[in-house]
Amino acid sequence: MGSTAASTALLQYEIDTPLCELAAMIGEKNAITCYKLCLKAIYDLQAICNKINPNISFNIKPSLQYASYRKHKDGLHREYNLRKKYGFDVEWLEAKDVANLFGFEAPAALLSAEAGEIDAYRVAHELLRHCVSGGQQVYNNTEIISIEEKEGHVILHTDTGNVVKQVSW
């Protein structure tokens, strides 16, 4: 009933740190891996939604990142070049393209073909319903106090003593 119900539910592979900056922080190979895993997660979630309820509306949609000021254009273009180099489906838009396609002014933009659009509230409830119908339990108002990684899966320990193990979809 909180932010999930009010979410725009646009799922983007771009994390809070631009790819160029992330590459400078952790290396290009690791940064590309992060972005590709985030992109994969969109399609994984789409597959999960299709499996648990084919009537869930999950659409692949484009997303737009634009330069707010002319001084941001060069950095955005570097971002475009790096994403293009590694096969991300992106398009460079000049100011006239942004105005023609979207009806507002921006010095330039990066149009990504791959984002997900969902009804986050419905998806959250369908996922919970699916888990419960499969025999899993849902713990409301429960704090995760520790996380273990074991041989490709995750185990969560709660403040109530319950243990949650990763479920395969």
Rounded distance, CA 31 to CA 124, Å?
Answer: 29
Are 46 and 59 part of one and the same domain? yes
| Domain total in the chain | 2
Q: Are residues 149 and 99 in the same domain?
A: no
Q: Which two tokens stand for residue 6?
A: 């009010």
Assess contact for 112 and 89: CB atoms under 8 A: yes
Give the distance from CA 47 to its chain's centroid. Answer: 14
Whether 10 and 87 map to the same domain: the answer is yes
Residues 89 and 24 in one domain: yes
Closest CA relative to residue 110, chosen from 69, 80, 140: 80
133 plus 99 within the same structural domain: yes
Beta-ladder partners of 71: none
Overall pTM surpassing 0.85 (yes/no): no
Calpha distance 88→91 (Å, rounded): 9
Region 88-101: mean pLDDT is: 97
> 104 and 42 share a domain?
yes
| Beta bridge pairs of residue 126 | none
Tell me, yes or no, whether 149 and 132 share the same domain.
no
Let me know: does 49 contact 56? Beta carbons within 8 Å: yes
| pLDDT attached to residue 168 | 59
**Do residues 134 and 69 share a domain?**
yes
pLDDT tens-digit profile of 115-167?
999 988 888 889 999 989 988 888 788 899 999 988 778 899 999 998 888 76
pLDDT digits (tens, 9 = 90+) for 57-93: 889 999 999 999 999 999 999 999 999 999 999 999 9
Domain that holds residue 145: 140-169
